[in-house]
Chain A
Amino acid sequence: MKIRVGSVAIAVIMILLITAGYVVLSQGLEGKERPMILIPKTIDPHVEFWRVLNQGVSAAAKEYKTEVKVIGTKSESDIEEQIKLLEMAITEKPKAIILAATDYNRLVPTAQKVIDAGITLITVDSGLEGGLSASLIATDNYAAGRKAVETMKNYVQGPATYAIVSFVKTSTTQMDRENGVRDHLTQDPSIQVLDTLYSNGSEDKAYEQTKKLLSEHADIRGIFGLNEVSTIGAARALKELDPEQRIKLIGFDSSTDEVAFLEAGILQATVVQKPFNMGYLAVRTALEAYEGKKVKVNIDTGSEVITKENMYTSENQKLLFPFVEK
C-alpha cells in the first residue's frame, strides 16, 4: 500500500510537469496565431497620410512581434463598407482592432459589438462618439488649431479680419481644428472672424469659395485652410487675386502642392500631423491594452508648424516629405 501511495505522488508530480510543459508550449503557439486588425479610413495608396501611418504600424508590429492585418475601403467616404469590414473583423477574433472611424456616430453600434466580443478597441486619427475605445491616438486638433493661430500672429498683428476654409461640417477633425482656431482668434475682441466656408473635400470648390470671399471682403488679412484640399484651394485663389502676398495663409497637412506654395511664399505655414507616430503608438497602445495594462484614454501624437524657413531641417522634411517606398 505504501509503495502505491509513493508512486502515485511521483506520478502526480510527473503529470504536473507534463501539463506545465504543454501549457507553456500552447501559450507560445497562441501568441503567434492571433493578429491585430487595422482598419484605416482608406487603403488608397495615393493617400500619403495612411501610407505613412501604415509604416508606423509595421515598425511597431516588427518591434513588438505581432502580426497586423490591414483591411480598409477604397474611399474615405465609404462608411457603410467600413461598418461591414468592422463586423467582419469581429468574426476573426483578433487581439485588437485599431480603427480610424470614418464617421463619428455611425460606427458606434458596431464598435460596441467589438467591445462586447471582448476585443480590445483602439481608435486612431478619428474617435467615436462617447469615447468607446480603450484609447484614442490622434493629433490634438484643437491644439493644432491654436498653433495655427499663434503662427498667424507672427505675420499679422493688430486688429484684423480672418476667414476659415474648412472641408466637411461633421468631421471631428474639422470641428476641433475650427474650434481651436476660432477660440483663440476670438480671445482678441478687435479680431473679426468670418463664417467658415465648407469645401466638402473639393479643391475647386474651396478655390471658388475663397475667390468669392476675397471679392466680398477686401479687409481680410489672414486665411486658415483646415486641411490639405482647403489650403490648396485657398492658395490658388490667393495666387490669383493677391499677387503682392498681403493676405497670409496658414494651412494644415502636407502635399507637394502645399510645399510649392510654401516655397512660393503664398502659404506661410502648414500644421502637419505625425502619422508615423500615430500608427506606431496605436499598435503599441493596443498591445498594452490587450495585455491588461492601463493606457491613456487620449494620446496626442502632436503636430508641427512648418514654414518656408524650417521646412528642410532633417526633422521636418521627414514630416513634410515622408519617404514612402515606391
Chain B
Amino acid sequence: MRIWSRPIQFKSIHTKIALAFSCLILCTTVILSYSAYRLSTVAVTDTSLAYTKQLIDQVDKNIQTYIGNMESIATLSLSNNDLKRYLALKNPADPEGLQLTNQISNYFQSIVASRNDIASILFAGSNGALVSERPASDFKPYSELITQDWYAKASRSSGKVLISPSHVQHLYKDEYKWVVSISKPMPNPLPGTASGVLLVDLNYNVINDLCNQIQLGQRGYVFILDQAGDLIFHPQQQLIYSGLKSEDMPTLMQAKEGTFPSPEKEQNKIYTVSTSSFGWKIVGVTYAGDLIGNKKDMQLASMMWGGIALIIALGISILLSITLTRPIKVLEAHMKQVEKGNFNIRVDVEGANEISKLSRTFNLMIGKIKELMSQTLEDQEVKRISELKALQAQIQPHFLYNTLDSIIWMAEMGKVDEVVTMTSALSKLLRSSISKGEELIPIAVELQHIENYLTIQSIRYRNKFTYAIEVDPDIQNRRILKIILQPLVENAIYHGIKHSPERGHIHITGRRLDGMIELKVLDNGVGMSEEQLKSLMLKTRQAESGKGFGLHNVNHRIQLYFGDHYGLQFESEREEGTSVTVRIPDMPPLPNENDREN
C-alpha cells in the first residue's frame, strides 16, 4: 500500500513546489560550492606555486653564494705567493719545499678553520707538490690522487673552475666525507714552472641541510642536478639509482626556468626549476594534491557551508511552498463542498495575487451557477406547465363536446359521409394527442394534425371557411414543437373568420428563410386595429389566462426551447385579415426519425 501511495502523494502541488525548489537549490548550491572550491583551489595553487618558485630561487641563491665563496677562496688560495714559489720548485720534497708546505698548510688551516662549510683545501702540482691543511701523512699516495677526476679534469680545463657532483671524497686515509668539490687550475703559471690544481671541498651537509629545510607541502622535496644531469642531491637518491623512482630528466635538462607539470600524469608532480649561473638545476617538486595544503579542510568547509545553505534553503522552500499552497488548499476545500452541493459558500482569500483573483472568480462562478441552477429549475417547471397546458389546449373538453354534438347532429340528418370524415379526423386527432411523448415532431406530423383539426372545424362551421396548406416539401422533415399551429388556427377561426360576414379562408404556408423555418397562418377575417394588435402582442408576453392565453403559451414555449430569437409575430389590418408568423430554428431530423414514423 505504502509503496503505491508515495508517488501519488508527490503529485500534490505543495510537494511538487518543494521538490522543484529543492532540486533547484541543490543544483545551485552544488554548482556554487563546487565552483567556489575550484576557484579557491586555483588561487591557492597559484599562490603556492609562486611561493615554491620563490623558495627554489632562494635555494639557488644560497647555493650560488656557497659556490661563489668557494671560488673566491680558491682564487685567494691560488694567489698565495708561497704556493707560487712552491710550484716553481723542481723538487718539492727538498728542505725549502717542506718549509713552504708548512707555511701553506697553516694558511689553508686558517681558512678552513674560519668556515665550517669548507671540508678541506688541497693543492696538487704537476711537480709532485701536495699540500693541504692536514699533515702530509694523512694523504693517499700522490700517484693515486692525480688520477682522480678533480685533478685530471681540472688540469685539462684550461683555467676554468670545475664543480663536481656530490661524492665521497677519498683523498685522505680512512676518511670518506660527502662533499661537493671545486677544482681550479693555477692560472697563468710562469713559464718553466709546474702547473697545479687547487681543490676546495664544500661540506655536503650544507647542501643537504639547505634542501632538507625546504618544506614544499606535505610531500614535496627539492633536488639538484648538475650540468650533466647527475644528481647532486636527492632525498631519495637510492630509490632513483635502484629504478624504484624516477624524475623526468630529459624534460628537466631542457627546462631552464619555470614551473611545469610532470609528464607522468598519475604522479601529479609539479616541477619548479631554477638554473644557477654555473649550470646546476635546483628543482622543486610539489604534488598537485599537496599545494592546497588543507585540501580536505577546504572540501569540508565548502561541503559544510553548502550543506548549511542547503538546509536553510530547503527549510525556506518548504515554508514557501506551504504558504503558497495554503490558499489553494482553502480553495480546494471549498470546491469540495461545492462538489457536495453546497452552493451557499464564499471563499475569503485576501490579497491581490493570482490565487485571490482565482477565489474571487470562483465566488462569481458559484453565484452564477446558483443563479443558473435556479433559473433552469424554474424553466423546467414552466416548460412542464406550458406543455401540460398545450396538451390541455389541444383537445379542450368544450371542443370535444361540440364536435361530438356535431357528429350526432349529422348522424340524425343522415349525413353518413360527413359523420365518417369527422369521426375519422377526430379519432386521428385524439390518437396523435395521446401517442408519443416527444416534444419535437416532424413538421409533416404537425401538419397532419392540423389538417385533421381543420377537417373537423370546417365541417362544424359549414361553408364558413376554406383552407389551404402550402408547405415546402423539403422542410417537412424538419422538427417543430408539437401543438404550435393548432392554437393559431383556432384563433384564426374563433377571432377572425367566425365574426366575418363573408366566407373566410385560412392559408398555411411554410418555407425556409434566412436559415430559419418560417410557418405562417393567414386568414382574411375581421382583422385587428393597431391597439388590439398591440394588446395582443402584449398578452403573448404575459402569462394571463383567458383570451390570448393560447398564443402566449405558444410563444413562451418556442422561446423557452429555442431562445428569444424565435417566436411569434403578428401582422393585422382591420377588415383585411391577420397573419401570424412562427419562427423556429432549422433543425435537421433525428437520424432515426423516418424509422420511427414508419
Which A residues lie at the B interface, using CB under 8 A? 1-3, 5-7, 9-10, 13-14, 17-18, 21, 24-25, 28, 56, 59, 62-63, 65, 256, 259-260, 263, 274, 276-277, 280-281, 301-302, 312, 314-315, 317-323, 325-326
Contacts and interface: CB of A to CB of B under 8 A. Distances in A.
B303 A14 contact: no
Contact of A325 (B174, B205, B218): B205
A277 B165 contact: no
Contact of A21 (B9, B12, B304): B304
Interface of B: 6, 9-10, 12, 14-15, 18-19, 22, 165, 167-168, 170, 173-174, 176, 178, 204-205, 208, 212, 218-219, 221, 230-231, 235-239, 241-242, 244, 296, 300, 303-304, 307, 310-311, 314, 318, 322
B242 A277 contact: yes
B307 A18 contact: yes
A2 B300 contact: no
Contacts of A62: 218-219, 221
A277 B238 contact: yes
A275 B572 CA distance: 136
Given A2-B15, A6-B9, A21-B304, A318 B174 contact: no
B408 to A, nearest CB: 82
Contact of B18 (A10, A65, A317): A10
B230 A25 contact: no
19 contacts: A5-B9, A5-B15, A6-B19, A14-B310, A17-B307, A18-B311, A21-B304, A21-B307, A24-B303, A25-B300, A59-B235, A62-B221, A276-B238, A312-B168, A315-B241, A318-B237, A318-B238, A321-B178, A322-B238
B163 to A, nearest CB: 15
A6 to B, nearest CB: 4
B9 A259 contact: no
A277 B300 contact: no
A25 B298 CA distance: 12
A259 B176 contact: yes
The listed residue with most B CB atoms (<10 A of its CB), out of A3, A17, A326, is A3
Given A3-B322, A6-B18, A14-B311, 16 more contacts: A2-B14, A3-B14, A6-B9, A6-B14, A6-B19, A10-B18, A10-B314, A17-B307, A21-B307, A28-B296, A63-B219, A256-B174, A274-B238, A276-B239, A280-B244, A323-B178
Contacts of A317: 167-168
A147 to B, nearest CB: 16
Nearest to A61: B219
Nearest to B15: A6
Nearest to B8: A2
B12 A321 contact: no
A314 B230 contact: yes
Chain B interface helix/strand/loop/mixed: helix
A326 B14 CA distance: 74
Contact of A13 (B22, B170, B238): B22
The listed residue with most A CB atoms (<10 A of its CB), out of B178, B221, B230, is B178
A312 B170 contact: yes
B314 A280 contact: no
A61 to B, nearest CB: 10
Contact of B238 (A56, A263, A325, A326): A56
Given A280-B244, A323-B204, A10 B22 contact: yes
B527 to A, nearest CB: 76
A177 to B, nearest CB: 20
A323 B300 contact: no
| A-B pairs with lowest CB-CB distance, top 4 | A6-B15, A276-B238, A315-B241, A2-B12
A138 B310 CA distance: 54
Contact of B167 (A13, A314, A326): A314
Contacts of A281: 244
Contacts of A21: 300, 303-304, 307
A14 B306 CA distance: 12
Given A10-B314, A259-B176, A24 B300 contact: yes
A5 B318 contact: no
A5 B6 contact: yes
A256 B168 CA distance: 12
